[in-house]
Amino acid sequence: MILNHFDLDITNFGARETISKRSLADLKCAMCNTLIEFIYKLTWLFEIFLKGYYQMKHILVTGGAGFIGSHFVRYMLEKYPDYAINMLDKLTYAGNLSNLSDVQECYGPLERYHFFQGDICDPTSVKEAMQGCEYVLNFAAESHVDRSLEHPGHFIMTDVYGTYVLLEQARKEHIERFVQISTDEVYGEILSGNAGEDANVIPRSPYSASKAGGEFIAQAYFVTYGLPVIITRGSNNFGPFQHPRSLFRFS
């Protein structure tokens, strides 16, 4: 691979006359071996770099300025130094960049965090944010059941059509993994026991129906196009950066 022939002349290094020719030869041999080993390792590291064995992995996180999304962005950047994140958020009532102010200060200058303001329903914004990414996590959604009763159309557009826009671009970009963040609300009312993954999906509000719709289009892209899709159905979460509407009911 490298250095089929190598020679090092140290006869002019100012060696003392007391050093025998044999000692000088041994020294020359030792220095040659050390230098060859160093150059070999250096070349090996350079080849690794050129072949992309240490390439930064890029994740597109939509809705990353929201409650759960901001925690995910911070966790990934802190725990995995070989990952970079593109964060796409429309910054509606639930999205707040102050949730990630420390992330911007810490990881922005390192080129590991990039913010894109845009709507997942806009193909141009999605294409720009997804460029160069290997993975997509879709946290972006209209949320809260009571809001869905007031503006059901907003929920259908974002949670269903927006998910379609993301999936379509992910298919074009040959994304390695698409994670659709859904909700246990899709099961409807469970009066006793619990619901498993194979339980019937019976949404009872425009919010849960729109999230179920996002799941179905994601499942369709998995079956039809072979897009690697994972769907999660989380229950209620509580913690820092949570929007007050998740804790208190507004009339």
Active site residue 75: no
Active site residue 184: yes
Active site residue 105: no
Say which of 89, 119, 142, 185 is annotated catalytic: 185
Neighbours of 22 (CB within 10 A): 8
Say which of 122, 128, 168, 184 is annotated catalytic: 184
Q: Which residues are catalytic?
A: 184-185, 207
